[in-house]
Structure 1
Amino acid sequence: MEINNNIPQATAKRLPLYYRFLNNLHLQGKTRVSSKELSEAVKVDSATIRRDFSYFGALGRKGYGYNVEYLLEFFRKTLNQDNESNVALIGVGNLGTAFLHYNFSKSNNTKIAKAYDANPDLIGKEVGHVMVEDVEKLDQSLSESDIDVAILTVPGHVAQSVTDVIVKAGVKGILNFTPARLTVPADVRVHHIDLTVELQSLLYFVEHYPLEKK
């Protein structure tokens, strides 16, 4: 993702969401969309959307809204969607297997190109059309690839040791699905996604902050 450093990180994280919705609109044949329509679809308030878009200049016109094709092309270039990005998956358990069978190339330009596991029953087999490699060869295999981002779905107790290996191999971004909080160099970015924490948070909000019926 090629984002100007002056763009707030919160805005940058919402751009793929806008891109996906705009792509759906384009496939439906829609030619323009208002910030209100965008707001209702992506569940982000209109003022935030207009502020996000304002960082990139005049993307729309008052009274007209936004040209879908123009916005789609703009965000395609901004998000570098014209180039395919390969990522590695470390840990082919239940969650990792689900990722491999889904694989991201079906919905955008990102796909899982390499997968690693320690289970001898999996090594050398294809899961979701990706050959599972021995995690013991992770360092050399990643070092010889052009992969900068890895998805971590290993057991929590080995997450840090695996992280140390992939960072040494040149990985600059980690999507961490383990409960471990990883220690990485300053030039490596980690996004933590703890499904248990997210579920507990959702249950708390359902219980204590019920939404009003429309």
Structure 2
Amino acid sequence: MAKIPQATARRLPIYYRYLNFLKDAGKERVSSTELAEAVKIDSATIRRDFSYFGALGKRGYGYHVDSLLAFFKKTLSQDKLTNVALIGVGNLGHALLNFNFHQSNNVRISAAFDINDDITGTIQNGVPVYPMADMQEQLTVQQIEVAILTVPASVAQSVADQMIAAGVKGILNFTPMRIAAPETVRIQNVDLTNELQTLIYFLDHFGPKKDEE
């Protein structure tokens, strides 16, 4: 299989989510044009994205919903449960605990960590909150390899270093700091301020056109 471009990889969960809607609606097949209208991605891009995975559809027939859904379910590891740690239970951390990926059956926050004695040792939205002193031990014992980082920027790197030492391989970084990590660790940065400023910039200069990348 050819190496998948990052832009394509970002779109795969969008396709998967809409295919689930189609399945729930009892639809058996879908064309790239129908998909394009629904997810607001042009049909040529969809066909190119799908082409990286081989012959997923038939010309004149489109795509079989169940087959395509099963394929992307496996490709996106939706057929197994991934336990995720939340590091930092401040305002954003609490919001993420409240959300806890309720619409996903394959991802859940299973452990949270904080320095606040008022919440450590408690259960928040069904998730146990441990003191930061226990983080490395619990990450190792629970074999958690994915973590969400929402700590203050001043301690982001040191906390990330501890997480990585405990075996974390992927970090969703909500802090403004750009974390230094070995090549064996993948960092996904989510800078909400930057995203909002970028949105405002594009609105001011280019109008309300959807960014499909």
Whether TM-score is above 0.5 comes out as yes
Match of 1:84 in 2: 81
Match of 1:20 among 8, 17, 21: 17
The superposition leaves residues 79-114 of structure 1 with CA deviations (integer Å, 9 ceiling, x where unpaired) of 221111101000111111111111125323110011
- Runs of 4+ with >6 A deviation: none
Looking at structure 1, the residues matched to 64 and 95 of structure 2 have their Cα atoms a distance apart, in angstroms, of 36
**Structure 2 residue 71 is matched with structure 1 residue 74:** yes
- Aligned CA RMSD, in angstroms, stands at 1.4
Question: Secondary structure of the residue that 1:182 maps to in structure 2?
Answer: coil
Identify unmatched segments of 5+ residues in structure 2.
none
Identity of aligned residues (%): 59
- Given the alignment, which residue of 154, 166, 174 partners 2:171? 174
> Residue by residue, what CA displacement relative to the aligned partner does 1:107-157 show, whole Å, maximum 9, x if unpaired?
231100110011111101111100110012111111112211000011111
**Letter matched to residue 204 of structure 2:** E
Unaligned residue ranges in structure 1 (runs of 5+): none
TM-score in terms of structure 2 length = 0.93
Q: 1:198 aligns with which of 188, 195, 199?
A: 195
Whole-Å Cα distance in 2 between the matches of residues 71 and 14 of structure 1?
A: 14
CA deviations on 1:156-202 (whole Å, 9 max, x unpaired) are 11110100000000000000001001000110000000000000011
SS, match of residue 188 in structure 2: strand
| Map 1:10-49 → 2, pairs under 5 A | 10-49=7-46
SS in structure 2 opposite 1:150? strand
Q: Which residue of 2 aligns with 1:184?
A: 181
Indicate the larger mover: 188-197 or 103-112: 103-112
Distance 2:141 2:104 in 1: 27
Partner Cα separation in structure 2 for residue 196 and residue 5 of structure 1? 35
Amino acid at match of 2:151: V
